[in-house]
Structure 1
Amino acid sequence: MMKRKQITFEQKKRNLAILFILPWFIGFLFFFVNPLITSLQFSFNKLDVTNNGYALTGVGLDNFKFAFTVHESFNRLITEAAIDMIINVPLIIIFSLFLATLLNQKFRGRAFARAVFFLPVILASNIIADIESTSMMSSLMSGDGESSGFQLLQSVNLEMMMLESGFPPNIVEYLTGAVDRIYAIISKSGVQILIFLAGLQSIPVSLYEASRIEGATGYETFWKITFPMVSPLIPIIVVYSIIDSFMNNEVTELINTIGFANINFGLSSAMSWIYFLLIAIILAVSTGLISRKVFYNN
């Protein structure tokens, strides 16, 4: 009788990983591959609606050239989206790690506090969109309302104070911009906080006990134990935050308007692929740079 070959622990983990991503792969294969190929085909053609469906006329790279050189707002919108991502993502990561560290402490009402910060993710649907579109929320975020209370959220006084204290203007501009973006940062940090929290709870308690015995301060414990142990999660959070920052903005609205309102699916598909390639390049560069600095406890 032949003995069954024993599989190693690494093989078990690899098999579980394949099993875990199998539903996504099946969904991608059946629901996303065909639309991707179709949109790529549309981007090189002009689509005309006919009685029998649609007809395609090859135009080469004309749709891409029009998006870059003729359209009045596409270049500006994708540039603004990239700048917003560069500003928001580091702030979201820093805020999420800081808040996850606080929520990981033992205090009364900890479960409720965690639910409060994750609530925007649960309700990130039409309810939140409707709230954001109201005049009160708009005035709260922009500071254009007549109420002097809303003006407290603005960073004018902070900017003047920091400039008078001798801070470099670039740092002042970044920090004051963070204050103005606090609502967007909090509303987009729920998943990141949850991931960091899971990572913090997986750190062995014995490491903290040993650090206390050695007389390490809280500052030293964070930078020598906490941060290195959760650093493998940072590339995942960066990827999620970047993709999330590029969703549901003015660029996607423009692409949808051109495609479904103006019935110009060729130009809309070309813009979609330009946007997709921009996101892919940003993801590749950012994850490549961050992965080099990540500590893996192997």
Structure 2
Amino acid sequence: MRLAKRSFQQRKALTGMLFLTPWVLGFLFFFLVPIIDSIRYSFNDLKASDNGYTLTFEGWSNYRQALYVDANFTRNLTSVVTDMIVNVPLIIIFSLFIAVLLNQKFLGRSLTRAIFFLPVILASGVIASINNAGFMQQILNASMASGDPSGGTVNGFLQSIELKGMLLDIGVTESIVNYLTGAVDRIYEIISQSGVQIIIFLAGLQSISPSLYEASRIEGATGYEAFWKITFPMVSPLILTNLVYSIIDSFLNNKVTQQINSIAFQTLDFGLSSAMAWVYFSLIVVILAISVFLVSRKVFYHD
């Protein structure tokens, strides 16, 4: 009996499932059991012994200790979420701006693209163990301690004291001023976390048909109008992609993950560390769900 020919949509769905198969197999064989064990540990007190380990059921005790007893955990959670709320929009805006610039034709374009992607390369391997923000702060502190006359100027510039006073003098509201000066203070951090997003945006910009821009120029559209009517809608799906990536990336290595690792492998309290990890994971899921729900409603998909 001859099989019915699959439609184009069915072939696309099958191809997508084939691409997902390695991830599904990896999840089943390498991640499913540790996830289940982590959930078990979070509700128990784990004690190591000569014969392995024993679990004593404690219910929600570890979660209560993480949220109501351990003051550092909730404070670190608040700090990490605040940094994410400030950094992620800045990373998206900066990445799109740089990608638009790098998409133009100019001498040395390939070298310039490599320079902006360089922070991603430097963030791997041994260099990843260096706390860049702390390293920069140590330089500033050493400069101030040594009495370097330029140290105060540099520190004042990085903290945006002059910019804040200037914006307040011209009548800008304090909330906007604090956000803008915070953006200036985070320039190094934003640039170092924008390499992948720039590449994704650049790939999306290069996939836009030139005929759309040619038609807009014939109709008399300005560059500003072409950006908001053509470029921005066409790359809006990638804004959602970069948003999800940036949110997850901002939660990978911070004070919360360091505290969880410390409690697990230094204090050897695996029950409490598992509870903290699941609280942290639940918070990330909620933030991602809200962000995707709000942004996906404005995404334009070109058929």
Does TM, scored on the shorter chain, surpass 0.5? yes
Equivalent pair of 2:205/2:231 in contact (CA under 8 Å): yes
Look up the SS of the partner of 2:301 in the other structure.
Answer: coil
Total equivalences in the alignment: 295
Give the 5 Å matches for 1:21-170: 21-125=20-124, 126-130=126-130, 132=132, 135=135, 137-139=136-138, 145-146=143-144, 147-148=151-152, 150-151=154-155, 152-170=157-175
1:224 alignment counterpart: 229
Question: After TM superposition, where is structure 1 displaced by more than 4 Å over at least 4 residues in a row?
Answer: none
Superposed CA deviations along residues 201-230 of structure 1, whole A, max 9, x for unmatched, are: 110010001011111111000000000000
Q: CA RMSD in A?
A: 1.6
Query: Given residue 4 of structure 2, which amino acid in structure 1 is its aligned partner?
Result: K
Question: Where does structure 2 lack aligned partners over 5 or more consecutive residues?
Answer: 145-150
Matches within 5 A, 1:280-291: 280-291=285-296
Structure 1's 246 and 186: CA in aligned 2 closer, same or farther, altered over 3 A? same
**Superposed, which structure 2 residues align to 1:200-279 within 5 Å?**
200-279=205-284
Q: Is the 8 A contact 1:93 1:237 kept in 2?
A: yes
Summarize the Cα distance change of 1:238–1:134 in structure 2 as closer, same or farther, 3 Å threshold.
Answer: closer
In structure 2, relative to structure 1, the CA distance for the partners of 1:85 and 1:138 (3 Å cut) is: same
1:6: how far off?
A: 2.1
Is 1:180–2:179 an aligned residue pair? no
| d(CA) in 2 for partners of 1:22, 1:102 | 37
Measured in 2, the distance between the counterparts of 1:159 and 1:267 equals 42
Q: 1:107 to 1:234 in 2, by over 3 A?
A: same
**2:103 and 2:202 in contact (8 A); partners too:** yes
- The one-letter amino acid paired with 1:157 is E
Deviation at 1:127, TM superposition (A): 1.1
Aligned to 1:14: 13
Change in CA separation of 1:229 and 1:287 when aligned onto 2, cut-off 3 Å: same
Q: Tell me, which stretches of 5 or more residues in structure 1 are unaligned?
A: none
| Alignment deviations for residues 152-200 of structure 1 (CA, whole Å, 9 cap, x no partner) | 3331100000000000100000000000011111111111111111110
SS at match of 1:108: coil
- Counterpart Cα distance in 2 of 1:3 and 1:40: 49
CA drift at 1:8: 1.8
Using the TM superposition, give the Cα deviation of residue 150 of structure 1 relative to its aligned residue in structure 2, in angstroms.
2.5
Confirm or deny: 8 A CA contact 1:143 1:153 kept in the other structure.
no
Measure how far apart 1:128 and its partner are. 4.2
**Post-superposition offset of 1:134:** 6.9
Give the residue type in structure 1 aligned to 2:199: L
In 2, Cα distance between equivalents of 1:85 and 1:277 = 16
TM-score between both structures, scaled by the size of structure 2? 0.93
C-alpha offsets along residues 252-291 of structure 1, whole Å, 9 cap, x if unaligned?
0000000000000000000000000000000001100100
Say which SS state the counterpart of residue 32 (structure 1) adopts: helix
> What amino acid sits opposite 1:132 in the alignment?
N
Q: Is the 8 A contact 2:133 2:189 kept in 1?
A: no
